[in-house]
Amino acid sequence: MTERTVPVPGGRLHVLDEGAGSPIVLLHAGIVDSRAWRPVTDRLVAAGYRTVAFDRRGAGASVTDDVTFSNRDDVRAVMDALGIDRACLVGNSAGGQIAVDVAVETPDRVVALVTVGASVGGHEPEPTPEEAALFDEMDRLEEAGAPDAVADFDVRFWVDGPGQPETRVAPAIRDLVRAMTRSNGDPDRVTGRPVPLLPRAAERLDALTMPVLAVAGALDVSDVPATAEHLAAVVPGARALILPDVAHLVGLEAPERLAAEIVALLALLAPWV
């Protein structure tokens, strides 16, 4: 594995580059950093792929000034710095939304798209009343400036799943996610100001002509599997996969299954090195 820093306007991105073969770029969820992909990247490298995972601005070991920036440009800057013309993009949660945005904006750079517990910009299914109350509590904790309480809440909500017992997921996963989300939520951390894709991706899904797999956990908040089903319904050839026994961080809970699904999707394509 090679660690390197990629400079971007107003920031520096910490990048992990491993393996050889056709490249897969993995984009992490907002509450974690690139370490959350380790169980998946190990398996993808073993299957003969090159994996690239990086910490987004404001997460992990990446840093940024308080500037406006494009997450899409950052993805392409990492690809350019590593000599990658085209890649399969795999994105979890907010990373999935970014992956969709990149694929919509520059489809020539994306050979396949895998969303994992992802949202789509401009597509906003209504939460249940119980979920809406939990989102309100999340907002209250964040506005109160209570990073430890936010980290505890994030683990219960995103790792365990809404209404699920705290014993459902292995303690090592819960501890790792809590450490990452607590670091990302440090009050002294500068996150910058990302500029959204306009028009939003939900209005431009016809640009997704590459193979698309939308993965979600049935134990996640309800809008997540609903979004996966929406992608399968409106993108020709796209497939939704709803895993019955996992929540939001599928790559940590079910890395073998996720990696196998990615490999099966990409096996249909010619190498794109």
Number of domains in the chain: 2
Q: Are residues 52 and 154 in the same domain?
A: no
What does DSSP assign to residue 120? Answer: B
Across 6-20, b (16+ Cβ under 10 Å) vs e yields bebeebbbbbbbbbe
CB neighbour list of residue 270: distance below 8 Å, 6 or more residues apart: none
CB neighbour list of residue 32: distance below 8 Å, 6 or more residues apart: 59, 177, 180, 181, 184, 249
Alpha-carbon span 129 to 111, nearest angstrom: 39
Residue in the block written with tokens 């809970």: 253
Q: Are residues 27 and 117 in the same domain?
A: yes
Q: Are residues 83 and 201 in the same domain?
A: yes
Give domain status of residue 273, yes or no.
no
Give domain status of residue 207, yes or no.
yes
**Three-class SS of residue 163?**
coil
CA neighbours closer than 13 Å in the CB half-sphere of residue 237: 11
Average pLDDT, the chain: 96
CB neighbour list of residue 108: distance below 8 Å, 6 or more residues apart: 86
Q: Are residues 204 and 246 in the same domain?
A: yes
Q: Are residues 174 and 195 in the same domain?
A: no
What does DSSP assign to residue 124? Answer: -
Q: Are residues 100 and 235 in the same domain?
A: yes
How far the first Cα of the chain sits from its last, in Å, is 18
At residue 188, the pLDDT reads: 92
As a whole number, mean pLDDT of residues 161-184 equals 97
Q: Are residues 47 and 33 in the same domain?
A: yes
pLDDT tens digit sequence for 22-80 = 999 999 999 999 999 999 999 999 999 999 999 999 999 999 999 999 999 999 999 99
Alpha-carbon span 262 to 268, nearest angstrom: 11
pLDDT tens digit sequence for 191-232 = 999 999 999 999 999 999 999 999 999 999 999 999 999 999
The candidate with the shortest Cα–Cα distance to 189, out of 94, 58, 80, 72, is 58
Q: Are residues 17 and 65 in the same domain?
A: yes
Is the pLDDT at 144 greater than 90? The verdict is: no
Bridge partners for 217 per DSSP: 243
At residue 96, the pLDDT reads: 98
pTM of this structure: 0.97
**Token pair of 171 as six digits:** 């303690």
CATH of the domain at 40: 3.40.50.1820
List the domain range (segments joined by +) for residue 28. 2-125+189-266
Q: Are residues 243 and 218 in the same domain?
A: yes
Query: Max alpha carbon distance in the chain (Å)?
Result: 51
Is the pLDDT at 146 greater than 90? The verdict is: no
Q: Are residues 150 and 198 in the same domain?
A: no
Give domain status of residue 272, yes or no.
no
Annotate 61-75 with DSSP letters as a single string: T-EE-S-EE-HHHHH
